[in-house]
Structure 1
Amino acid sequence: MEASIVHSFFLIFAGAAVVASIALYTRQPMLIAYIALGVLFGPSVLSLIDEPKLMDEMSHIGIIFLLFLLGLDMQPSHLLNMLKKASWIALLSSAAFALLGYSVALLCGYTNIESLVIGVAMMFSSTIVCIKLLPTTVLHHKHTGELVVGLLLLQDIIAIAVLLVLYSMSGNDGDSQNIMQYIKPLISLPLLVCGAFLFVKYVLLKLIAKFDRFHEYIFLVSIGWCLSMAVLAETLGLSAEMGAFIGGVALATSPISQYIATHLKPLRDFFLVLFFFSIGASFNLDLLGQVIIPALILAIGSLAIKPVVFRYLLQGIKEKASTSWEVGFRLGQVSEFSLLIAYLAANIGLIGIEASHVIQATAILSFALSTYVVILNFPSPIALSNKLRRD
């Protein structure tokens, strides 16, 4: 197993260095290059990576760190205010996108249930792509960033509810057990938030203040806190990402938060390469001919309709047209939650393999199309023009 992991890491990161160099020379986004590398090295083409599940699990850590760092940049008072303002927008927009997915899937010949699952998968935008394309030192402290993050968090809450339904369908437990699966997160979320803020205030910040001369100690405590919150959230029936985000927000009021954020970014980027690689590696190219047409329609439809929907919904809370359009385009893709929904729904026999791959292909295509739109038109860390490049 050890040799296999070392060999897999060599292929992924040596290959990523090559494709990243090509991407930069040809002025293409590196995220797309990592996905393409995954397709090339995965089971569908060269079959060089024999531990795709392990890579997928490790890449999940990248998302956890991403959400933790995001939380470190969010002031709790601003975040709470944005969540209050945007809740009805998240619900209405999710319903509109679900209707789009359901209608297209039905017209393409999928069953009612499969069309419903595809519709649900279209409801969400990608946290990882959106945040990766947000300038971390600019928009996180501005209104546009707060809108994007608030809507993503509300979508994540809806996505968790959907995943709970699918998990309950996959189990054979009694009715009372299934009811508890729904009640448990509702009780545990406020407890986790309160516990995190109290622990940070009375324990964590005191420890950091006492030993702040030891940089290695702050690094270790930060990672320990992030992963502890992620595991605790999962134990309480929430997502690991949500736990990491709450852990970051709890630290955000302290001046040490920006120091931690700066020093954890390389670790986050290491795991994010694995995440995008695993997306490409998990796709079965043999089914591409069957799913490419509906996937293209859904991906282009998502990118075309989401900005329009957000433009008019955000107008209801007196947002400027330029801000509303930008938020809509930044949220124009499908989510990594959609990939998980496809996997779970296929596992419990709710949808077929073809319908599952429609969702996967839509996610990959929408990641690519949305990334190009954002980096060509809006400020981002990987923008193609110097004028738009911000970090």
Structure 2
Amino acid sequence: MVEHSVVFSFFLIFTGAAVLASVALYTRQPLLVAYIVLGAALGPYGWALVSDTSLLADISHIGIIFLLFLLGLDMQPSHLLHMLKKATLVAIVSSLLFMATGYGVGRLFGFTQTEALIIGAALMFSSTIIGIKLLPTTVLHHRHTGELVVGLLLLQDVVAILVLLLLYSGPGGDTGVMDFVKAVAALPLLTLGAVIFVRYVLLRLLQTFDRFHEYIFLVAIGWCLGMAELALAVGLSAEMGAFVAGVTLATSPISLYIASSLKPLRDFFLVLFFFSIGASFNLSLIELILLPSLLLTALVLVIKPVAFRFLLQRISESNKLAWEIGFRLGQTSEFSLLIAYLATSMSLIGQEASHVIQATTILTFLLSSYLVIFNFPSPIAVSDRLRRD
């Protein structure tokens, strides 16, 4: 396999993405599809023109971190706390239902009990990046729909961290009970520390030097990535740290300028993220995993919207709103890919089970995106009537 420079890989990715995006727009397809297809074509299991996909995946993770930071900048803390309290029961019950579905399908196709449990765990979560990428930033984030979506995704993020800790504490892992205690205690302490730092240090610096736009840009990036790294250090996810960084700045008027200046940077890294998803999939295993992957995909696309619709109606949400949130969360998650990778590296599951999770994640990403952009407001909707930035 020929090794190419990072610059050449970037050339292939962004030039190819520009060409395929043009085709996608002319044929009224979502841009996410173009990026994933390009990754599959150029990656090591396609034409192998881009071989170092692990490096690209690491780089692209920055896009998710920025996405959560910008989301936090749009959320008022008082509204967020209210929504988290309201959505807790929905998140717990739905997660258990989705896990049972994945476990049942896994056992049906002859996977071991451990593999079936991990397949079920991978189905519990909805994609933060899909759910938020398809939310109009100037419309829904300040409305009830966006708050509910965000609340549910954050609660799922907490559950995902506990699942990852369980994987680490399994055979070959070295995580113990204290890590659970640390993770549970870390979030409120991290948030409190961030609030104090923003109030007495960060905002004063920004107000003193607000004439220098470059300085504001650099401080915002440093604050976002610094909180992401601090969250990782205390046992949380980088995404949660970035979100806390954004929320603690949300009450300041400077948050609007920061949000607008970071959007192009976010989109740059998100292209890499979707490319790396397509590039990491081993196309030679399709025949072995086709049936379980298709069945899981169909169940996710049907059961998740129905479950969220039923549960949200139980907490007095309207039928229309409940359906919309259900479809926006009707896919598996980037956490599913991480669970598959970790479980495989620790020999808890085999390659076949791992690729069932990966294939289901990719398929639900694609098909869920179609359902949303053709039926609900989003920044990349193909219809002018539904396009909201």
Q: Please give the secondary structure, in 2, of the residue aligned with 1:57.
A: helix
- List aligned pairs for 1:102-251, cutoff 5 A: 102-169=103-170, 171=172, 173=174, 178-251=176-249
Q: Please give the secondary structure, in 2, of the residue aligned with 1:169.
A: coil
Deviation of 1:316 (Å): 1.4
2-structure distance, mates of 1:234, 1:104 = 33
Residues 114 and 349 in structure 2, CA contact (< 8 A), matched pair in contact too: yes
**Counterpart in 1 of 2:295?**
297
Residues 168 and 181 in structure 1, CA contact (< 8 A), matched pair in contact too: no
Residues 86 and 150 in structure 1, CA contact (< 8 A), matched pair in contact too: yes
Normalising to structure 1: TM-score of the pair? 0.97
1:351 matched to 2:349? The reply is yes
Normalising to structure 2: TM-score of the pair? 0.98
CA offset digits 1:320-379 (Å, max 9, x no partner): 000000000000000000000000111111110000000000000000110000001100
Deviation of 1:172 (Å): 5.2
The match for 2:285 among 284, 287, 291 is: 287
Residues 172 and 346 in structure 2, CA contact (< 8 A), matched pair in contact too: no
Q: Please give the secondary structure, in 2, of the residue aligned with 1:332.
A: coil
Residue range with higher mean Cα deviation, 354-363 or 10-19: 10-19
**Counterpart in 2 of 1:325?**
323
**Counterpart in 2 of 1:316?**
314
What is the one-letter code of the residue matched to 1:228? G
1-structure distance, mates of 2:85, 2:171 = 33
Residues 295 and 359 in structure 1, CA contact (< 8 A), matched pair in contact too: yes
**Counterpart in 2 of 1:270?**
268
**Counterpart in 2 of 1:14?**
15
Deviation of 1:187 (Å): 2.1
2-structure distance, mates of 1:187, 1:123 = 23
2-structure distance, mates of 1:190, 1:170 = 30
Q: Percent identity?
A: 67
Q: Please give the secondary structure, in 2, of the residue aligned with 1:370.
A: helix
CA RMSD of aligned residues (A): 1.3
1-structure distance, mates of 2:235, 2:105 = 33
1:50 matched to 2:51? The reply is yes
Deviation of 1:222 (Å): 0.3
1-structure distance, mates of 2:363, 2:103 = 18
Residues 4 and 51 in structure 1, CA contact (< 8 A), matched pair in contact too: no
Deviation of 1:170 (Å): 5.7
Residue range with higher mean Cα deviation, 164-173 or 315-324: 164-173
Distance 1:170 1:220, change over 3 A: farther
Deviation of 1:292 (Å): 1.5
Residues 233 and 239 in structure 1, CA contact (< 8 A), matched pair in contact too: yes
Q: Please give the secondary structure, in 2, of the residue aligned with 1:90.
A: helix
- List aligned pairs for 1:247-258, cutoff 5 A: 247-258=245-256
CA offset digits 1:272-318 (Å, max 9, x no partner): 00100000000000001111211111111111111111111111111
1:387 matched to 2:381? The reply is no
1-structure distance, mates of 2:333, 2:140 = 21
1-structure distance, mates of 2:315, 2:265 = 38
2-structure distance, mates of 1:149, 1:220 = 26
- Which ranges in structure 1 are unaligned for 5 or more consecutive residues? none
2-structure distance, mates of 1:295, 1:246 = 35
What is the one-letter code of the residue matched to 2:361? A
**Counterpart in 1 of 2:338?**
340
Q: Please give the secondary structure, in 1, of the residue aligned with 2:260.
A: helix
